[in-house]
Amino acid sequence: MNSDYKDKRIKKNSQLSSFRLAFLGICSAFMKERNLRIHFCLMAIVVILGFFCHISLHEWMFIFIAIGLVISMELMNTALERVVDLVTKEYHPLAKQAKDIAAGAVLFSAIIALLIGIIIILPKLLDLYIY
């Protein structure tokens, strides 16, 4: 289903409108979700450390894949939470389970990203401070 039905100012099925609405979705999530802002701050720190440590092109690829995975999972978690909240405002064990599983996916991707960061950046930081 195309989500541009909500914005009548944009021509239907326009490729540009799809990108615009996707960007608005990211901005909306960024403004409303504290955890997403935390992930973006950590991303900035990792990128700065990557430049500081002169990581290789292949290492950058792993870093950006990890960052992309975490940010994507956080956005999917946010979307799932919104849908569950739309469907029911009352407590339901399946709604809780869906939200918990989505949050677990974010946590799992964040742990993998942390391990990738440690494997790539920590030895380079230690080399800088030891020598």
Rounded to whole angstroms, the maximal C-alpha distance in the chain is: 61
Task: Supply the pLDDT for residue 130.
Answer: 80
Residue 23 shares a structural domain with residue 85 = no
In this structure, are 38 and 76 located in the same domain? yes
Query: Which positions make up the binding site for a divalent metal cation?
Result: 33, 81
Q: Is 74 a catalytic residue?
A: yes
Angstrom distance (rounded) from CA 129 to CA 56: 19
Structure confidence at residue 15 (pLDDT): 80
pLDDT value of position 11: 58
Residues 81 and 67 in one domain: yes
Q: Which residue range forms the structural domain that includes residue 17? A: 1-32
Output the pLDDT for position 49.
96
Cite the annotated binding site for ATP by residue number.
Answer: 33, 81, 90-92, 99-100
Feature table: binding site: 33, 74, 81, 90-92, 99-100
- CATH code of the domain containing 62: 1.10.287.3610
Q: Which among 39, 70, 74, 77 is annotated as catalytic?
A: 74
In order along its 131 residues, the chain shows pLDDT tens digits of: 455 555 555 556 688 888 999 999 999 999 999 999 999 999 999 999 999 999 999 999 999 999 999 999 999 999 999 999 999 989 999 999 999 999 999 999 999 999 999 999 999 999 988 86
Please report the pLDDT score of residue 3 as a whole number. Answer: 54
